[in-house]
A and B are shown apart, each in its own frame.
Chain A
């Protein structure tokens, strides 16, 4: 009985995860090393990877800052009533329920050239949608809950006492945060960072809608893979896909590492 279950588990993993992953690796080298290099070092592929990198950096920094602050407010703030906090708390989860395409549509509707805000920015010569800012906003929307949801439980768990003690002893709020709060939430933040990087690296639907997928301008790595497949250029798509997959596996390893550290503190 035991053997049967273990065998079945292995079968699911092999068929659902391991074979597909290795198929990408084989596909990337189908035309040899030159084919792989050709697919990866096309100017549009390099540009797309650069765009993805820029988005990841900007989004991760912004979300880390605002995510930690939001988590602190949702757990600690006594200037918000309990009721408001619980409403805000459930709003944080909404991006999880929103399909990425709909997330992109929202931003186009709100900031697109036909909207009031978008028209204003267009007037002063600042393009939001179909340009870099829109893509960043779309990714911010999709990844917002990740950091908040990692940090909040830790804050709830460690409780208020130590911070209050520090405050009583005369520490300013910044010192209290740096010396008392930060050491205990550190690994949760690292875990949240890795999750945010992974999610913004792979974001596709929202970015596709917002960017307009213009080659060498607003194309990201994932939307390039999509366009290559649509153009029946699967071999070229494989190279970029393999790079993305390799990054994901590396991030997965970091997640495991951060998770272990998080448990120890």
Chain B
């Protein structure tokens, strides 16, 4: 009797399992899941980007052209590109050096420095801007010393470059490090054995292997520098063509209730950033193929 009871129980359980299975395996679930995720993705990412382009052309080409040829607008974009290039150049130099030192040398504090590299990624950009303001701003030691020498840092171009430098610091280092780790020490030794000097080895063997990382890291740093707002807004000024950069200009246009003007400059900046992103992808894909 006992065994009969058990067998009904297991049969029942099996049938229940069957129902759950068909329920889980129902096609509707899969399709519902797939369309939810894709819809979320399109609504969140694609639609907003599309919207800005539509908005900036909604009043017609001539209006768009007018917003762009306005000297304040294109001067802001040009200044952003210029300062972004300067900060990227500095970053490429010190980033390559730091990546080299952190992978090739063993010295006390190396692990600590290696984890500190990511700090600018983790730190809110507004806090980064506040740091620069506190250190170099009016009333600080360095700020006052510079003022006596006739330099102006905060609310002028140097502060903007420093802010961009701070925010984009990790990019080049993190792009070059893995390449250096992969580099076979035998290649280096072979170069020495064949009589190459340290400088020749560096330029002929080590630098070429770091180059893809330097380029893609530098590009990423540049596009981030163009987009940067939080750190920059606290230390940038508002003089068109001299200290007014694009993201701050866009913010000003939004604040003064001119979304069309903001959208026009946004489209310029966005197109530039997408172009850079596309180049990075192409470079990386080519690198992978080789």
- A209 in the interface, Cβ–Cβ < 8 Å? yes
A 184-213 to B, binary, CB cutoff 8 A, 1 in contact else 0: 000000000001001001111100110000
Q: Assess A106 versus B227: contact at CB under 8 Å? Given A9-B98, A69-B33, A229-B133.
A: no
CB contacts (< 8 Å) of A24 on chain B: these are 127, 130-131, 134
CB contacts (< 8 Å) of B277 on chain A: these are 90, 93-94, 96-97
CB pair B105–A2 under 8 Å, yes or no, is: yes
CB pair B130–A241 under 8 Å, yes or no, is: yes
CB contacts (< 8 Å) of B130 on chain A: these are 24, 225, 229, 234, 237-238, 241
CB contacts (< 8 Å) of A19 on chain B: these are 135
Counting contact residues on chain A (CB < 8 A from B), the size range is 35 or more
A108 partner, pick from B33, B120, B254, beta carbons under 8 A: B254
Interchain CA distance A209-B263 in the complex, whole Å: 13
CB pair B44–A144 under 8 Å, yes or no, is: yes
A100 partner, pick from B44, B52, B121, B227, beta carbons under 8 A: B227
- A99 in the interface, Cβ–Cβ < 8 Å? yes
Interchain CA distance A129-B119 in the complex, whole Å: 31
Counting contact residues on chain B (CB < 8 A from A), the size range is 35 or more
User: In A213-265, which residues have CB < 8 Å from any B CB?
Assistant: 221-223, 225-226, 229, 234, 237-238, 241, 244-245, 248-249, 251-253, 255-256
Interchain CA distance A103-B48 in the complex, whole Å: 8
CB contacts (< 8 Å) of A137 on chain B: these are 44
- B57 in the interface, Cβ–Cβ < 8 Å? no
CB pair A107–B101 under 8 Å, yes or no, is: no
CB pair A27–B134 under 8 Å, yes or no, is: yes
CB contacts (< 8 Å) of A16 on chain B: these are 165-166, 169
Interchain CA distance A94-B53 in the complex, whole Å: 14
A109 partner, pick from B131, B233, B263, beta carbons under 8 A: B263
User: In A1-15, which residues have CB < 8 Å from any B CB?
Assistant: 2, 5-6, 8-10, 12-13
CB contacts (< 8 Å) of B55 on chain A: these are 109
CB contacts (< 8 Å) of A99 on chain B: these are 226-229, 246-247, 250, 266, 269-270, 273
A105 partner, pick from B21, B113, B120, B262, beta carbons under 8 A: B262
CB contacts (< 8 Å) of B41 on chain A: these are 66, 70, 88, 91
Interchain CA distance A73-B182 in the complex, whole Å: 31
Q: List 26 A-B contacts (CB under 8 A).
A: A5-B100, A6-B105, A8-B97, A12-B94, A17-B120, A23-B134, A27-B134, A70-B37, A90-B277, A94-B49, A94-B277, A97-B227, A97-B273, A100-B230, A102-B270, A106-B52, A110-B51, A141-B48, A203-B124, A222-B230, A226-B233, A229-B133, A234-B130, A234-B133, A248-B124, A249-B119
